[in-house]
């Protein structure tokens, strides 16, 4: 099976940490107050192909209050990884997808596969995420496995390099927004 959990120390974490932190940063661009997701697609040489966050399609008015109306929001929202795929102006064959805060839904994972992405990296899902989306998460991993997609979950604990980067970024952003 291609799905497994790793720790930051097992990753060549310098670049992987940067791209997960970048996916977190991109997620902050979303106007959705309940779920902010981000995606960064990277070539094997560590250059960025595309980024995306969850939001409404171009041309649809997206005042923040519409994101509170789930009946309005859900049929219109474009997920982060799909936005990143659609925004790419280059081939995605053999690229790496970094996601925040967790894995793709089963619909998006099929688009990831069709786009030619070969590796998916995201933080290990929180217990809250698993309680809400565990069945979907399991299906996504199964589909990635069937398509021979390498799927990596990075354990982000309080002492991991990625957690330290995130704290630094959050502190920097809060200082710069004053």
Catalytic residue among 10, 64, 71, 81: 81
End-to-end CA distance of the chain: 48
**81 a catalytic residue:** yes
C-alpha dist (Å) from residue 147 to 3, 88, 105, 119: 11, 22, 15, 11
Distance CA 87, CA 45 (A): 19
- CA 23 centroid distance within chain: 6
Distance CA 17, CA 21 (A): 6
* Residues known to be catalytic: 81
């Amino acid at each position: 099976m291609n799905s497994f959990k790793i720790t930051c120390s097992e990753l060549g974490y310098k670049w992987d940490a940067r791209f997960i932190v970048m996916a977190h940063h991109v997620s902050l661009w979303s106007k959705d107050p309940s779920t902010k997701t981000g995606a960064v697609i990277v070539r094997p040489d560590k250059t960025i192909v595309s980024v995306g966050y969850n939001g409404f399609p171009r041309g649809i008015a997206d005042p923040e209050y519409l994101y509170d109306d789930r009946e309005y929001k859900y049929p219109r929202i474009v997920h982060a990884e799909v936005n990143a795929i659609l925004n790419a102006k280059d081939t995605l064959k053999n690229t790496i997808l970094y996601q925040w805060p967790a894995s793709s839904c089963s619909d998006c994972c099929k688009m990831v596969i069709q786009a030619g992405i070969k590796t998916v990296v995201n933080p290990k899902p929180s217990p809250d995420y698993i309680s809400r989306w565990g069945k979907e998460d399991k299906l996504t991993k199964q589909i990635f496995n069937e398509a021979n997609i390498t799927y990596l979950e990075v354990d982000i604990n309080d002492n991991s390099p990625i957690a330290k980067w995130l704290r630094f970024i959050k502190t920097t952003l809060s200082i710069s927004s004053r």
